[in-house]
Each structure stands twice: as C-alpha cells, then as structure tokens.
Amino acid sequence: MRNTLAIAGKEIRVYFTTATSYVVLGSFALIIAYFFQALVGEFQRAIAQSLQMNASWMLEQLNLTDYVIYPLIMNIGVILIFFTPIITMRLLAEEKRAKTLELLMTAPVRPIEIVLGKYLAGLTMMLAMLGVTLLFPIVVEVLGASQTGSPLDWRSVGVGYFGAALLGAAFVAIGLFTSSLTDNPVIAALLGFLILLMFYIVGSGASGSEGLWKSLLEFLSLASNLTSFARGVLRVPSLVYYLSLSVFALFLTYRVVEAQRWR
Amino acid sequence: MIKTVGLTKTYGDLDAIRDVSFEVAKGKIVGFLGPNGAGKSTTMKILTGFLPATRGSATVAGFDVFDDPMEVKRRVGYLPETPPVYPDLTVHEYLRFVGKLKGLRGDKLASDIERVVNKLALAEVVDRLIRNISKGYQQRTGFAQALLGNPEVLILDEPTVGMDPRQIGEVRGVIKELAGEHTVLLSTHILSEVVATCERVVIINKGTIIADDSLDALATKHGGGRDQLEKIFLNLTEA
C-alpha cells in the first residue's frame, strides 16, 4: 500500500511539474466549453421557439438539467476517448523506454503495487479533468438562478458525474493496459485510442441490430452505459459494467508487468 | 554472498550467457570484466531478479533469486547500465522516491538521503531537475540510489561510465570504501577500473567465463607482472 502511494505520488508529481498536464487540462476544458455554449444556445432557441408557438406544455418540459447537462456529460464521455490515452500513454511505456522499469522491478516492490500506483495516478488526473468541467454546471447554477430556486437538479448532475467518473476509471485502466504493452508512448496512445473507439462504435452498431445481439452490443457499449447515469439514474448493471471493465484491464496489465519475471 | 551455478540465458538461438558459475565472498569487491556484449549486463539483470535465467540458479545473500525475489531485492542495491533516473524529478525528489520504495520513511529516509548525497558529492545539484544535470552527475545519482537503505550486496553495472577523470577517481574511492561491510560485484570493460578497485576478477567473453582469479595470480599464471594485465586481458578475450 505504501509503495503504491509512493509510486502514485511520484507519477502525480511528474504530471504536474511538466507542461503536458496543463495543456491537457486546458484543451479539454476548452473543447467542453465549446460544447457547453452550443448546448446553451440550443436551449435558448428551444425556449424562444416554444414561446413563439405559445406551447406552454413544451416550456414545462424544457429544463437545463435535461437539455444542457445531460448532453454535456455524454459529450464528455466521447471527448475522453481522445484525451485518456494522452494521460495514460507514458505511465508504463515511458518507464520501459527510459529503462527505469528496471529500478521498479528490482526494488522490493510487488508488480501489483506498481500497477495500482500507476492506476491511482492516472485516476487522479482523470478526476482533475472531470473536476474542471464541473465549472459548467456551476455557471448554470449561478447565472440561471431564479425565484423558483435552483435551475438544476443537482442530484441528477451528481449521478451523471459519478457515471462519468466510472467511465473515466475504465478508460484509464484500458489506457494503462496499452501502455504496458510497448516501450513507445505514442504507440500506447494510438492503441488505447483504437480500443476505446471500438467500445464506442460497438454502441452505434446496436441501434441497427435486434434481439440478443442488440442487447449484447448495448451491454458492451461505453456510451449506452453512460446514458442512464447522465439522465440521473443509477443503474446497477452499468455500475458493474464499468467496475468489471476496470478490474479486467488492470488484471491484464498486472499479467503483462508480472510476465517480465518469466521472459 | 553471491553464487551462480550454470547460469544460462538464451534469446531464441542465441546464448547471451552459457554456464556461468562464480562466487563472491562476503565483504569482497569482485570485478566482472569483459568486452562489450560479453554478457555482463545479462548476468547482473538475472542476479537482481529483473530477468529470469533459462537454466541454472543464482543465490544472493542466501536467497534464491527466482524463488525469493523479494528477499533478494531487499538486500541488493543495483545500478543498471543505464542510470534509472527520472528527468522530470529533482535529485532529491528522486532519492526520496527510491528510498520510499526501499521502505525508508521519516527521519530515517532523510538521514539516509543525506548520507548518500554526501558520499557521492551530490549536494551541489540536489535541488536541480535531473534532466538539467550532466551525464556524470546523473550516473552518480543512479549510484546514490543503489546505496540507499545500506544494502549488504551491491551490483554495479559500469558505474563510472560517462564521468570525467576526476569523478571517476572519486567514485572509485567510494567503491573501495564499500569493501568489508558490503559485497560488491562491479562490471566494466576497462581493465584499469578493476585494477584500481578490486582484488579479484571474473573475466567473461562471449557469454562464458574464461578466468576467475585474483589479479596477482592471474598475472603470475600468464607469466608477467601486474603491468602485463592489460596484455593478458586482451589475449584472453581475443578468441
């Protein structure tokens, strides 16, 4: 446990002493900000339209939680496909490239502690990225407040972010796994990106199919499992899905690192 | 303290090392000499538990390297051929990190870092990023890391590579001081390094051991004085 924390601590230090993490955090926030303003714009147009049509039943349906925060969280899930490999690519591949893995593997540290330490660091970075995007619901809360109370259903927002964090945890585990396969961080990033993209594409395949196949594809899809969370519903199968995906990817990573001893 | 029996490492059809057997007694400094690519680093990687052997066995400090890797790792300080340093950490941050991995905490960690920093004369660069210090200092930082936790066995793979003559002299001094309390296996392709620091030498060439003797005995056996050692070494490794 202490070794895990030492390794995570070192990795987090490297994240925040190099410019990479700030560039990643900044550009991630910028892209999400772009989606956010587009969604708010659409919301305003929808309100203007229903006022014009005098459709009060439509106005009642329109709320910021469903029309801005829900799609925002879904967008975050998609953008993380591109950003996660950038934050995980160095974790193990760089240690191999710089031959510092030799230090970790000859220190009195178990392979599982190395894997968990690296994972913890990647997870911290992931939570920092999600934390930055919390700015947008806060903006909505502050600027959208009225006499009738908060413009947002914060319980729903909380569940949505919890889902995004679970998805992030699975993404980081997959990224860490690809980082364990090569001594080239760029290849690790590309490989991670491909795998995450595949999990995403599987979901869009589901809409065109039916029966068992459809449910299987939906079950595997990273996006469709995020949907219920983003809508504010905590679905246990989705929770289990993300957690088991994380554990499975971590187990594979552990096997790769441990295999060093047998090669 | 270090013992290998019939150690063999095969990569595909290629034997990196073949039937390597030797011993290093407690408190001794033994030179592991051979031309580049002779199998020195491979042997050392097996001894530190980084690589498994294809055949044969190795024990360090009484523990089998393959069966009890954690016990071995707790007792060995290792400087690989490429100093395993992180360019984005300062020397101090780096030593703290390695010290923690070796189980040092609190005051013990702080005092041990101070000890190795002084021993390798790193005080000047201790707060600088490793990427910004010279190759010689990086090498010394790698060496300092190996000394953390005061391990009984030290395995040093070409410890003076990349240093200027003055630094080489200082580091050789540090290695000599280790004798008695520590057991040291030191690899090098430079004979004068062995002459300056070791009493005994194991010579390896093309993966097999071709000599294992004290320097004096080696010189006598091949009919010369200590000044003839360079010629003897070149003759031995020519084949």
Domains and CATH numbers, chain B: 2-236 (3.40.50.300)
Contact check, Cβ <8 Å, A10/B145 = no
Tell me which DSSP letter residue B132 carries: G
* Cα dihedral B160→B161→B167→B168 (10° resolution): 50
Whole-number pLDDT of residue A55: 74
Nearest Cα to Cα of residue B75 among B158, B157, B155, B176: B155
Per-residue pLDDT at B110 exceeds 90: yes
Q: What pLDDT is stored for residue A172 in this prediction? A: 98
Chain B residue with the nearest C-alpha to that of A16: B88
Contact pairs from chain A to chain B, CB under 8 Å: 73
Any CB–CB contact under 8 A between A112 and chain B? no
User: Using CA atoms, how far apart are residues A109 and A112, in angstroms rounded to an integer?
Assistant: 8
Q: Answer yes or no: do A10 and B86 touch at CB < 8 A.
A: yes
The reported pLDDT for the residue numbered A92 is: 96
Residue of B nearest to A20 (CA): B88
Summary mean pLDDT of chain B: 91
Query: How far, in Å, are B35, B41, B54, B170, B220 from residue B14 at the CA level?
Result: 17, 15, 12, 38, 35
The terminus-to-terminus CA distance of chain B in angstroms comes to 31
Chain A residues with beta carbon closer than 8 angstroms to that of B84:
98-100, 102-103
Neighbours of B140 (CB within 10 A): 30
How large is the greatest C-alpha to C-alpha distance in chain A, in angstroms?
73
Give dist(CA A175, CA A180) in Å, integer. Answer: 9
Contacts of A6 in chain B (CB under 8 A): 97, 100-101
Mean pLDDT value of segment B105-124? 95
Q: Which residue of A has its CA nearest to B47?
A: A106
B170: which 2 tokens? 């200082």
Per residue of chain A (263 residues), what is the pLDDT tens digit? 889 999 999 999 999 888 888 999 999 999 999 999 999 999 889 888 888 887 777 777 788 888 889 999 999 999 999 999 999 999 999 999 999 999 999 999 999 999 999 999 999 999 999 999 999 999 888 887 776 777 888 888 999 999 999 999 999 999 999 999 999 999 999 999 999 998 888 877 777 777 777 777 777 777 788 888 988 889 898 999 999 999 999 999 999 999 877 66
User: What pLDDT does residue A32 have?
Assistant: 96
Assess A260–B contact: CB distance below 8 Å, yes or no.
Answer: yes
Predicted ipTM? 0.90
* Cα–Cα dist A119/A175, whole Å: 9
CB-based contact, B88 to chain A, within 8 Å: yes
Q: Can you tell me which residue has the tokens 């019939």?
A: B6
Q: Give me the amino acid identity at B194.
A: V
Most confident residue range from A44-53, A59-68, B86-95, B171-180: B86-95
Cα separation, A233 vs A227, in Å, equals 9
Which pLDDT does position A202 carry in this prediction?
80
Domains in chain A: boundaries = 2-259
Q: Mean of the pLDDT values across residues B27-35?
A: 91
Q: What is the mean pLDDT of residues B132-155?
A: 95
Q: Mapping DSSP to helix (H, G, I), strand (E, B) and coil, where does residue A35 land?
A: helix
C-alpha A61: how far from chain center: 29
pLDDT value of position A66: 85
Quick one: pLDDT at residue B48? Answer: 94
Residue B90 and residue B127 in contact, taking contact as beta carbons nearer than 8 Å: yes
Say yes or no: B42 contacts chain A, CB-CB below 8 A: no
CA distance A255 to chain B (A): 15
| CA A256-B91-B79 angle, 5° bins | 55
The predicted pLDDT at position B239 comes to: 59
Q: A168: closest CA among A70, A83, A253?
A: A83
Answer whether B84 sits within 8 Å of A107, measured CB to CB. no
Q: Judge whether B82 is closer than 8 Å to chain A, CB to CB.
A: yes
> For A63, phi and psi rounded to 5 degrees?
-145, 155
pLDDT per residue over B186-233, tens digit each? 999 888 888 888 889 999 999 999 889 888 888 888 777 777 777 778
Alpha-carbon gap: B234 to the closest alpha carbon of chain A (Å): 31
